[in-house]
Chain A
Amino acid sequence: MSAPTLSPTTATGTAATTRRRPRWRASTLAVVIPSALVLLTLLICALFAEALSPYDPLQQSLMDALQGPSAKHWLGTDDLGRDVLSRMIHGSRIAVIAAAEATGLAVLIGVPIGLFIGYRGGWWDWITMRAVEAIVSIPGIMVAIVIIAILGSGLHKAMFALGILYSTAFLRLARSVVLTEREEVYVKSARVIGASPRRILIRHIFLNIAPPLIVQVTLTVGAVLLAEAGLSFVGIGVQPPQASWGTMLNTAAAYMELNAFLAVPPGLAIVVTVLAVNLLGDVLRDSIGRGVRLPAATPPRPRSAAIARKGTAPLPAREDDALRVDGLEVMVSPKGGDPVPVVTDMSFRIAKGETLGLVGESGSGKTVTGLALMGLIGAGGRITAGQVTLDGTDLLQLPPSGLEKARGTDIAMVFQDPTTSLNPAYTVGSQISEVLRIKQGLSRRAAWDRTVELIDRVGIPRPAERARAYPHELSGGMAQRIAIARALSCGPKLLIADEPTTALDVTVQQEILDLFRDLQDEMGMAMLFVTHDLAVAADICDRIAVMYCGEVVETAPVEQLFRDPRHPYTAGLLSAMPHGASGTPPLPVIPGAVPTPGHWPTGCRFAPRCAHAAPGCALPVDLTPGQTTTNAERLTRCIRATDLTLEAAQ
């Protein structure tokens, strides 16, 4: 089988990615440009407040108090007749000073302390972090209020208080950067070769602290602006008559009934400014944190030729068929791309009490087939052709409610990883009894009793006790037994098992396979056993369907398939199977790689890798019984099936 291509693991290099120049997208620019303009306007207002203001912000004129917007006063006047626009412009200066002071102080206090305790560790670290936790557990505004109680109110003192408050964030950030870097490989290796790790540590800390620091600064600036407004609003921040957006809102609150418009300009100014800072921070975080975004892969174009063909003739009906699948086709639409076929011309049948193995490499479409039968291929996937007949009913013709009814009752599924297919939030027993109550209408009590019986039946000791366990308290093998018990709880006619032993320990695998066999003997359901492991398939299946590139290339009873493979791909798979004995020659490998959906050849999909390919292989091939045999159990998708003599497995 083809070896998976390992993506090269990139070296730790956060520094390398961060220094790559981000590529701006149009949507990013639509955020950056207005935000930058807002902040630029703010800065200009702050710097040239005197020149820009039409009036002195403190000049009172009681005759003109509480006016609405007019040509004389664009934004109206406040309770003392002061020009609101002029006060807004001067307020922007306060906002800039406040943000700079508090943020700067927070960085100056937080970063050195964080670096120090991160580097020293021990008691210094412990005590400081407990104090930080204590401060963080108090609502921030209360911390600021307490500090203002000590220092007194006023712009600079209040900003000092906010600086102390927000320093905790920078402290934690610096500390965590140091702690991460200390454990990095290059620091450790410097220690091993006897070099002083300190210099390399300092260099890397300064490289790595910059990006999160910048992001944290933007977050803090936004928070400071809001906090300053809040503190000034309640009267313990900036003091009147000095114009700050917060104090202006204080005035607005007092005169709300007389001039509601007073609240609008300062409030909007705060919102727009904080929004601009936050949005810029988001963009910075995205471009710094994730490096350059990869351009979206161009979606592969579907090969229309692969779809447009008549397909395999319907299989003759049989008395004991439990499931018949005829010409099933599944298309998947990749994000923003055209639909691509992942399963085509899929036909097989399973008799009552029979087990069909669906074998193929990953990506061959076996799991999708299983999910399609359940009607669970999810968003982006669509069944575009075919019939799925379960006990006489075409499942694909059922309305969603009918399919929902059939699931669990008539058709059930066991998934690959038992530890993730059970809900971690509920006990395993409740997940089985839920199905019994809903699907079979049992009472709570009866459902629970039946659940314990089922858990006992799948071979779990002390079932009543285990029913109350949560999934994470069970081993993988036990969890899979639970999943099997749940799938079989309503006695389905068809059980789909999707690689049910792959995630388990080898020793447990055999036990689970034995359990499947026992339960099938007892309950007589048909089973579709999806696996990539031919040895497992040989163990449990009656017949095998080999899949390649979304279609079945050969089906045969297990014995015949192993003894006499007709399709070159099957033969290749068989010869790639290890046979246990040591000293055997290296396993032959099928040359080339499995093409991905959307890149399938138009003719025989295996032809490019096939040693026996002939010119006729360039045309689509159907699944046929071949010319020499009339045995409907043996179907092959190969034009040379009859004239080739393929080497069988030993």
Chain B
Amino acid sequence: MGKTNFTPEESLLLILKTIEQTKNRFKESGHIFVYWGTLTLIVFGSQLILSLLELYKFTMWPVYLFPLSAFYMIYIWIREKKKNLPKTYIENVLGNLGWIFGMNLMIMGFFCSDKLGDAMAPVFIILFALFIVVCGLSIKFKPLIIGGILTNLIGLGSFFIERNYHGYSIMLMAVVGLIIPGILLNIARRKDHV
């Protein structure tokens, strides 16, 4: 390893190999997208079922799964931090962006819903779209970029539909923008094609 008389070609090859090898160890997985997508689907699906059963006073209950999940994420984050594993620049940026995004969404959802009114769901979906597109572009993964663009369209389209149907938009967003790209990312990671 201490060799200094290697050719420029060998040197470039070493750089490429090292960077590639290091990045491969830290390829982003799609679990986080599948997790939040499934949770969103469960929360809004449950709300829809409760509404159909006319159990209106319980419709807010499933929403509390979001802060509970946020606490679970904090627990995972502390556990990972203790392992002292290195992070790539992208992981670092996306991790911080995820926290800021999630906190804002939570605050907006619980404390600003009356101010946002009918625009709440479309705004949420568009914010999600931005996050998904940024993630897709950062890790150069097309299904996430496409998922983000479709989410953006769902968000814009939601401005033109009645508030009663916004739950469907959010569920569609969860499937198109989070669950499907997340599953594809997991498959790609396994195949080592990302």
Does B associate with A?
A: no
- Write the residues of chain B forming the contact surface with A, with a CB cutoff of 8 angstroms: none
